[in-house]
């Protein structure tokens, strides 16, 4: 009987992390930016049927990069969890932090399990507050790690250079048009081949605290996106 090859736990985790990172890097980036009236999600996504940005609950939005089938399963699970908690207790008991913790546990369990491949996804979970200082944005990586984001964040694709661009140009108090224009410029900032991203290539949605309805999520029309872009 042949003996199986031994792989150290450190090497196994490194291999799984490299596998996930490569899959995520092949996708196109998503940026999240705080603006005066809420939180904006901007994704480079030419598809009008397969969304990267979605609503989870009244004040909670979701954005993802990576394998569509994997993050769509996570989105559906999040909607069900939020609906169940809101129905069983109170709608105010559904929070972005609780949802981010649930996603972190799921991703962490899958990543550390040897029985299945790790997920090739990264997520943003955001909850808009009554004021800007009460906004919550969480970034979750393939291994279940959670980061608390302030101001702006990027994931997927060329995330490091996009985040560098945002860090150099972002200022507090942007209106929605300025936030969309900044995100589009950042997503197209490639030193090797700079791009101008058309409005038709962008998926944009916001969590708007000024809406009188309990549901703060809304998709931004192509006309509004186009008018925000220079030229």
CATH for 142: 3.60.20.10
Residue 3 located in a structural domain = no
The confidence score (pLDDT) of residue 2 equals 58
Buried b (16+ CB within 10 A) or exposed e, 208-226: bbebeeeebbebbeeeebe
| pLDDT < 50: residue spans in the chain | none
Residue 2 located in a structural domain = no
Range of the domain at 209: 9-228
The confidence score (pLDDT) of residue 15 equals 86
Residue 84 located in a structural domain = yes
Residue 1 located in a structural domain = no
CA-nearest of 134, 136, 228, 174 to 37 is 174
The confidence score (pLDDT) of residue 190 equals 75
Count of domains in the chain?
1
Residue 4 located in a structural domain = no
Full-model pTM: 0.92
Residue 40 located in a structural domain = yes
């Amino acid at each position: 009987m042949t003996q199986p090859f031994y792989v150290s736990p450190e090497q196994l985790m490194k291999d799984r992390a490299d596998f996930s990172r490569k899959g995520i890097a092949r996708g196109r980036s998503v940026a999240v930016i705080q603006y005066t009236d809420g939180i904006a999600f901007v994704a480079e996504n030419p598809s009008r049927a397969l969304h990267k940005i979605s609503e989870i609950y009244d004040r909670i939005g979701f954005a993802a990069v990576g394998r569509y089938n994997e993050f769509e399963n996570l989105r559906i699970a999040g909607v069900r969890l939020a609906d169940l908690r809101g129905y069983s207790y109170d709608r105010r008991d559904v929070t972005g932090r609780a949802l981010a913790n649930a996603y972190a546990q799921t991703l962490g369990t899958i990543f550390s399990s040897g029985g299945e491949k790790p997920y090739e996804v990264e997520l943003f979970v955001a909850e808009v507050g009554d004021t800007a200082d009460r906004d919550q944005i969480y970034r979750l990586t393939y291994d279940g790690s959670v980061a608390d984001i302030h101001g702006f964040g990027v994931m997927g694709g060329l995330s490091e250079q996009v985040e560098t661009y945002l860090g150099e140009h972002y200022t507090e108090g942007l209106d929605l048009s300025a936030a969309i224009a900044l995100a589009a410029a950042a997503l197209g900032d490639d030193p090797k081949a700079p791009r101008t991203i058309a409005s038709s290539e962008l998926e944009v949605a916001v969590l708007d605290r000024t809406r009188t309805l309990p549901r703060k999520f809304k998709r931004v029309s192509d006309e509004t996106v186009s008018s925000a872009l220079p030229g």
